[in-house]
């Protein structure tokens, strides 16, 4: 069985006792069943027959242009037709504005604008919203301590001073984030500034037409087409993987395109799955341009043929289809890669429960029919429309000023496992503990060290964006892509709030803790594998005045 499944089974045994044996952990029959094609299997290109859900002026993922008018966001249980039109239980943020109703609205706001909204908790459990990537006061950020009870409300009122870019919002309820986000509580928060508007004009890009937000999520469904979230102890340790991949809540999605430039704002909204994005025509890898990361536009376009996208990260890309012909088909895919899960951990886990830790075990699909690290399709692009007049790609997009790290304080952050729990500097989350204490208007250089006996961890910082300085001791698959100075890959460039750290790797980053808010501010730093986060792989980060 695969390494992920081995650790899942080990965790299950430790949780329920070795006396239960290995029942349900997956043997050859499970593996054989997993290898068979299934409905909505994303590996099979012939399955891609569903029109992509495109953001419109209202409804699901409707684009809501934010004004000073306060909104009310109702978090509530509902249903949504995902598989074959069958209604599936679904959680959503619902709001009405100017006579229109929205579910999980895509908020669009100009930099410097005010955002005011009241979250009304219509769920049967606590919840709160985190505005992922935004630089806002701590009491607006969605700290778990601010989770509100069923029937309660929470008021947000803040100014958006971030650079133009693709941000997002999602639930951050204490110990309930994974379940609620998986159930549907997430959407985009798009900020526009002069650089973004200049690019849109230069390339004739229109949001919802040729500028498309794409949220990528993997889910599981039962025979009735209903969304299922039932992680076992092993999946709580490793992360919950689905076997049907949705793009904008559409399984096996396709999009008719013209042979021109498109902007795709790619968000990894999955709980745990990492993607390696590529555009392929047949077996040919096609080049595309990365123009933005978590914190907005880069200084210029960066040509690539593949790029990693971890949970919580965003990649803004331009795909130039102008060289394609009518009738051509291109797939946005996730390429195969080594997930490096549990590398070197077998002996430790095996010795903890009397099992053999053999790293050469046969690989199977384990608890999901879509193996982690497998190559599969995300979105089918079909050239069906006539070509417009071509437009040149701008040579410069924005300006990225490097953080001045002269005299910066150094901080070491260790990511590792202890006592069958993922830890940050040996700590698990406690509401009243502040393991990271920084000072306002200072700069720090962090060294994130991931243990060799580990798995990849997407580490996310609330409240502040940072810049990646270097990668060291990277695995070969990252070294091959680390061509942007000091081992950095393309998703490291620009301003970041989430960075993927591989086993045995050290990632250095710079953080400027300047802010304009009154008093001490407490945020969190955590892994964005949401099962890890709910397992308390998170620490408070206090910034003192």
CATH number for the domain harbouring residue 325: 2.60.40.420
Q: Are residues 58 and 72 in the same domain?
A: yes
Q: CA geometry: angle at 90 spanning 89 and 95, to 5°?
A: 135
Give me the pLDDT at residue 368, please.
Answer: 83
**pTM (2 decimals)?**
0.92
List the one residue out of 324, 310, 311 whose CA is nearest residue 261: 324
Indicate if the pLDDT at residue 343 is higher than 70. no
Q: Identify whether 346 is part of a domain.
A: yes
Indicate if the pLDDT at residue 350 is higher than 80. no
Q: Identify whether 398 is part of a domain.
A: no
How many CA atoms lie less than 13 Å away from 206 in the CB half-sphere?
Answer: 6
Give me the pLDDT at residue 29, please.
Answer: 35
Q: Identify whether 219 is part of a domain.
A: yes
Give me the pLDDT at residue 34, please.
Answer: 47
Q: Are residues 145 and 251 in the same domain?
A: no
Least confident of 92-96, 253-257, 370-374, 461-465: 370-374
Q: Are residues 218 and 362 in the same domain?
A: yes
Strands 457-461 and 521-527: antiparallel
Q: pLDDT band for position 35 (50/70/90)?
A: low
142 membership: H or E segment, kind and range: none
Q: Identify whether 55 is part of a domain.
A: yes
Indicate if the pLDDT at residue 97 is higher than 80. yes
Contact indicator for 141, 463 with CB cutoff of 8 Å: yes
Mean pLDDT for the chain overall: 90
Picking from 368, 383, 398, the residue at the C-terminal end of a domain is 383
Indicate if the pLDDT at residue 15 is higher than 80. no
Indicate if the pLDDT at residue 257 is higher than 50. yes
- What is the rounded average pLDDT of the residues 163-185? 98
Copy the structure tokens of residue 252: 């096996």
Greater model confidence, 2 or 327: 327
Q: Are residues 172 and 283 in the same domain?
A: no
Q: Are residues 135 and 116 in the same domain?
A: yes
Spatial separation of the C-alpha atoms in residues 12 and 236, rounded to whole Å = 10
Q: Are residues 378 and 443 in the same domain?
A: no
Q: pLDDT band for position 389 (50/70/90)?
A: confident
Q: Are residues 78 and 218 in the same domain?
A: no
Q: Are residues 31 and 66 in the same domain?
A: no
Report phi then psi at 8, rounded to 5: -60, -45
Q: Identify whether 403 is part of a domain.
A: no
Q: Are residues 336 and 272 in the same domain?
A: yes
Q: Are residues 35 and 69 in the same domain?
A: no
Indicate if the pLDDT at residue 270 is higher than 90. yes
Q: Are residues 235 and 357 in the same domain?
A: yes
Q: Are residues 341 and 367 in the same domain?
A: yes
Copy the structure tokens of residue 460: 């996310």
Picking from 200, 228, 254, the residue at the C-terminal end of a domain is 200
Give me the pLDDT at residue 166, please.
Answer: 98
Q: Which range marks the domain in which residue 274 is found?
A: 3-45+211-383
Spatial separation of the C-alpha atoms in residues 325 and 346, rounded to whole Å = 50
Q: Identify whether 517 is part of a domain.
A: yes
> Total domain count for the chain?
3
Greater model confidence, 234 or 28: 234
Q: Identify whether 392 is part of a domain.
A: no
Strands 211-219 and 186-192: unpaired
Positive or negative, the CA dihedral 349, 352, 353, 354 is: positive
Spatial separation of the C-alpha atoms in residues 366 and 5, rounded to whole Å = 5
Q: Identify whether 66 is part of a domain.
A: yes
Indicate if the pLDDT at residue 28 is higher than 80. no
Spatial separation of the C-alpha atoms in residues 298 and 315, rounded to whole Å = 11
Indicate if the pLDDT at residue 105 is higher than 70. yes
Q: Tell me, what DSSP letter sits at residue 479?
A: H
Picking from 174, 200, 226, the residue at the C-terminal end of a domain is 200
Q: pLDDT band for position 26 (50/70/90)?
A: very low
Q: For the packed helices 3-16 and 346-353, what is the interaxial angle rounded to 10 degrees?
A: 30
Give me the pLDDT at residue 388, please.
Answer: 80
Q: pLDDT for 399-433, tens place per residue?
A: 999 999 999 999 999 999 998 999 999 999 999 99
């Amino acid at each position: 069985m695969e390494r992920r499944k081995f650790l899942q089974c080990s965790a299950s045994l430790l949780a329920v006792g070795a006396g239960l044996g290995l029942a349900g952990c997956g043997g050859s029959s499970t593996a054989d069943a997993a290898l068979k094609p299934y409905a909505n299997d994303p590996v099979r290109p012939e399955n891609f027959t569903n029109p992509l859900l495109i953001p419109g002026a209202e409804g699901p993922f409707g684009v809501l242009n934010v004004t000073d008018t306060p909104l009310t966001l109702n978090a509530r249980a509902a249903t949504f037709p995902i598989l074959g039109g069958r209604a599936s239980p679904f959680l959503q943020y619902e709001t009405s504005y100017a006579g229109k109703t929205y579910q999980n609205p895509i908020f669009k706001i100009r930099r410097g604008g005010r955002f005011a909204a009241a979250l009304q908790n219509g769920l049967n459990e606590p919840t709160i919203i985190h505005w992922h990537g935004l630089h806002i006061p701590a009491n607006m950020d969605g700290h778990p301590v601010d989770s509100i009870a069923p029937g309660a409300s929470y008021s947000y009122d803040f100014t958006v001073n971030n650079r133009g870019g693709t941000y997002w919002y999602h639930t951050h309820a204490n110990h309930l984030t994974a379940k609620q986000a998986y159930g549907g509580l997430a959407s985009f928060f798009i900020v526009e500034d002069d650089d973004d508007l200049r690019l849109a004009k230069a390339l004739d890009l229109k949001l919802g037409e040729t500028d498309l937000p794409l949220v990528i999520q993997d889910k599981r469904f039962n025979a009735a087409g209903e969304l299922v979230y039932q992680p076992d102890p092993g999946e709580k340790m490793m992360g919950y993987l689905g076997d049907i991949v949705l793009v904008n809540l559409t399984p096996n999605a396709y999009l008719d395109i013209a042979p021109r430039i498109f902007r795709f704002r790619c968000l990894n909204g999955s709980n745990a799955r990492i993607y390696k994005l590529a555009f392929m025509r047949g077996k040919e890898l096609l080049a595309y341009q990365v123009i933005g990361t978590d914190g907005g536009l880069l200084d210029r376009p960066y040509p690539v043929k593949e790029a990693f996208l971890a949970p919580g990260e965003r990649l803004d890309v331009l795909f130039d289809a102008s060289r394609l012909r009518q009738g051509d088909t291109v797939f946005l895919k996730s390429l195969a890669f080594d997930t490096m899960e549990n590398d070197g951990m077998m002996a430790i886990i095996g010795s903890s429960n009397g099992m053999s830790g053999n790293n050469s075990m046969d690989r199977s699909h384990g608890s999901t029919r879509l193996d982690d690290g497998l190559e599969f399709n995300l979105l089918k692009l079909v050239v069906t429309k006539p070509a417009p007049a071509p437009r040149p790609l701008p040579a410069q997009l924005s300006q990225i000023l490097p953080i001045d790290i002269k005299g910066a304080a150094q901080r070491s952050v260790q990511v590792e496992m202890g006592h069958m729990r993922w830890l940050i500097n040996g700590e698990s989350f406690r509401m009243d503990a502040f393991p990271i204490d920084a000072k306002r208007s200072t700069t720090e250089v962090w060294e994130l060290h991931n243990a060799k006996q580990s798995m990849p961890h997407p580490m996310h910082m609330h409240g502040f964006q940072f810049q990646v300085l270097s990668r060291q001791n990277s695995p070969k698959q990252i070294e091959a892509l680390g061509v942007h100075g000091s081992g950095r890959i393309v998703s490291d460039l620009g301003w970041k709030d989430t960075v993927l750290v591989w086993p045995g790797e050290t990632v250095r980053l710079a953080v400027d803790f300047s802010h304009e808010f009154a008093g001490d501010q407490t945020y969190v730093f955590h892994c964005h594998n949401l099962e890890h986060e709910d397992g308390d792989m998170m620490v408070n980060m206090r910034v003192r005045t």
